[in-house]
Amino acid sequence: MTFRKLARTILHLDFLKAMSLTFMSLFSKPITRQYPSEKRPVSLGFRGLHALTRDSVTGEARCVGCGLCAAICPSRCIHIYTSEGPENKKIVERYEIEVLRCVYCCLCVEACPYTAIALTEHYEYVAFNRQTLYMTKDRLLDNYDSYMGREKDEHYFRLFWHPRRTDFMTPVDQAVFRRRP
Ligand code: SF4
Ligand code: SF4
């Protein structure tokens, strides 16, 4: 042991330094937040409770039941039930998410070509049973109304969602080979 270290040990310098730090912190402003009365603002893009988005014109769910979100979901917590509608269009009878199994990876949002699913900023949801956190289509649409809405929707998808469905469409001026009639 060097003389310097020995002197520090004998004089309890480290202890005194720590005590002075504690003493000084008694007069500094506390940084603890008094949750739930005091909340930290959540930035857009936070991965909170799920929502099914609505079409801005019709107000109906944008989801077309393609199943891409369910296919990519690593937790297998998205369940979609569809039926055949007019003109071979799918009707989404049920769209359900088991929130307790979700790992909030956001892959469903990235995979959806219709910007039909989002993770909202809402994080204050607790329950005493699993059923409360089993989201049905209606509840997911309600989540959109309550925690996202049209304004945030625009911003959210512009910032966090690429590419768009239109990016996969054939450009208007591109030559296309068609079958002979
Ligand atoms: S949320 Fe999107 S990816 Fe999932 S089924 Fe609906 S349209 Fe398809
Ligand atoms: S955030 Fe991830 S785990 Fe949760 S539903 Fe979407 S794909 Fe599944």
Backbone angles phi, psi at 24, to 5 degrees: -65, -35
> What pLDDT does residue 166 have?
65
Q: How far apart are CA 86 and CA 60, in angstroms?
A: 17
133's tokens: 């956190």
Residue found by looking up tokens 């893009």 in the block: 45
Amino acid at 49: L
Nearby residues of 40 by Cβ (< 8 Å), 6 or more positions away: 33
Pocket test for ligand 1, best of 80, 83, 106, 165 (most atoms within 8 A of CB): 80
- Residue 175's CB is within 10 A of a number of other CB atoms, namely 5
Round to whole Å and give the CA distance between 148 and 142. 10
Dihedral angle sign, alpha carbons of residues 23, 29, 34, 35 = negative
Global confidence as pTM: 0.77
Read off the DSSP letter of residue 91.
Answer: E
At 155 the pLDDT is: 86
Question: What pLDDT is recorded for position 165?
Answer: 61
Interval between CA 76 and ligand 1 midpoint (Å): 14
- Mutation test of ligand 2: which of 53, 78, 112 has the most ligand atoms closer than 8 Å to its C-beta? 78
Give me the pLDDT at residue 174, please: 76
Q: Is 161 left (phi over 0), alpha (psi -120 to 50) or beta?
A: beta
Contact between residue 164 and residue 62 where contact means Cβ atoms under 8 Å apart = no
Distance (angstroms) between ligand 2 centre and the Cα of 110 equals: 10
Average pLDDT by stretches of 10, the chain with 181 residues: 83 91 89 89 89 95 95 97 90 97 94 93 93 97 95 85 67 75 66
pLDDT confidence of residue 164: 63
Residue the block writes with tokens 């956001």: 106
Q: Say which residue the tokens 């049905």 belong to.
A: 136
Q: Residue 18 is inside which H or E element, if any?
A: helix 13-25
Is the N-terminal amide bond of 41 cis, ω within 30° of 0? no
For residue 163, the model assigns a pLDDT of 61
Under a CB-based contact definition with an 8 Å cutoff, are residues 65 and 58 in contact? no
